[in-house]
Amino acid sequence: MSYNFIEIEEKWQKYWLENKTFMADNNSNKPKYYVLDMFPYPSGSGLHVGHPLGYIASDIVSRFKRSKGFNVLHPMGFDSFGLPAEQYAVKTGQHPKKTTEKNIIRFKNQLDKLGLSFDWDREIKTSDSTYYKWTQWIFLKLFNSYYDVKVNKAQPIEKLKIPKNLDGEEKESFIDSKRLAYVDTIDVNWCEELGTVLANEEVIGGLSERGGFPVVKRPMKQWVMRITDYAERLLNDLNLLDWPESIKLSQRNWIGKSEGAQIKFSIGNNECIEVFTTRPDTIFGATYLVLAPEHPYVNIITTQEFRKSINQYVEEASKKK
């Protein structure tokens, strides 16, 4: 007998949708299992082959766990808030909300045709105000919290012990220096054509992934998270995860714990360059220091004789990965 793909697939996909076959029950006594995929950007003309490559693998895991008696939560959503959606709207000359909603319908139709076992009652759109109001809520929680090393977790900023004899401005400065979300001037990937900051993953060979525009390193004020305060806890909690050892190793390397000393080298005029070394015992063998091109002292200590060549090098370095 021949297998009538269209007839059989359509019949069962309709049945799954109408009967909510893949819905995760909030009040189930079954053991729980959570399978989360990366949400696609609904910013193009549809899915590409890379999407089902990952989704089919996670769907196999989901179906296997259901067959083993697990209450499986396997949601799907759309990463629809940001540069890709904006650029697609600019390219097509339409409002991003309109193009995003249209693309989501197309993406869902394509995902359903693949027969994937998503719980569509859990659908998330990151451009939906009912979703991003919670990301804003989380930000305010971070802004109004500090990391307490004694209890190894975040605490409300009201519990922070503030040194005595500080005036109003010094007190606010001290509090801001402990907040988990704070403003700092850091080097970012700036794309003038797109008018925005790009993540490292969005820059390929000094050009923006979207549009192929020049990207340079530029110091800018940014909201940043004080995740370094969590470094030790993140490192220790990796032991609690049921992950492949190779993945945990890459996470440990990313956290990058090193033990050593901060050492200051005088450069005159009461100025010094501070370095970190894991081998302070070898410090007397040091013959020179190397500064990163973006280091603020590069401009200060460069002599006129070499300023032109140094400035040229700094400019070239700002365009590299």
> What H or E segment, with its residue span, contains residue 291?
none
Strand pairing of 207-208 and 203-204?
A: antiparallel
Q: Over 80: is that where the pLDDT of 307 sits? A: yes
Q: Total structural domains in the chain?
A: 3
pLDDT greater at residue 95 or residue 122: 122
Looking at the structure, tell me whether residues 50 and 157 fall in a common domain: no
In a domain, 191, yes or no: no
- Cα distances (Å, whole numbers) of residue 306 to 262, 298, 320: 29, 11, 22
Looking at the structure, tell me whether residues 313 and 283 fall in a common domain: yes
Distance CA 173, CA 277 (A): 29
pTM for the whole structure:
0.72
Q: Over 80: is that where the pLDDT of 319 sits? A: no
Q: Which pLDDT tens digit goes with each residue over 212-223? A: 999 988 888 989
- 75-89, 108-122, 253-267: range with lowest mean pLDDT: 75-89
**Domain housing 139:** 128-180
Q: Which pLDDT tens digit goes with each residue over 167-184? A: 989 999 999 999 999 999
CA angle, 18 then 19 then 24, to 5°: 120
**Token pair in block for residue 199:** 């993540």
Q: Which amino acid is at 203?
A: V
Looking at the structure, tell me whether residues 80 and 109 fall in a common domain: yes
In a domain, 232, yes or no: no
Q: Look at residues 164, 180, 196 and tell me which one is the last residue of a structural domain.
A: 180
Distance CA 61, CA 35 (A): 8
Looking at the structure, tell me whether residues 26 and 97 fall in a common domain: yes
- 80-89, 176-185, 274-283: range with lowest mean pLDDT: 80-89
Looking at the structure, tell me whether residues 85 and 106 fall in a common domain: yes
Write down the pLDDT at residue 31. 97
Q: Over 70: is that where the pLDDT of 44 sits? A: no
Looking at the structure, tell me whether residues 112 and 10 fall in a common domain: yes
Distance CA 108, CA 110 (A): 5
In a domain, 52, yes or no: yes
In a domain, 228, yes or no: no
201 pLDDT tier (thresholds 50, 70, 90): confident
In a domain, 146, yes or no: yes
- The DSSP secondary-structure symbol of 278 reads S
Write down the pLDDT at residue 321. 67
Looking at the structure, tell me whether residues 10 and 39 fall in a common domain: yes
Read off the CATH number of the domain in which 27 is found: 3.40.50.620
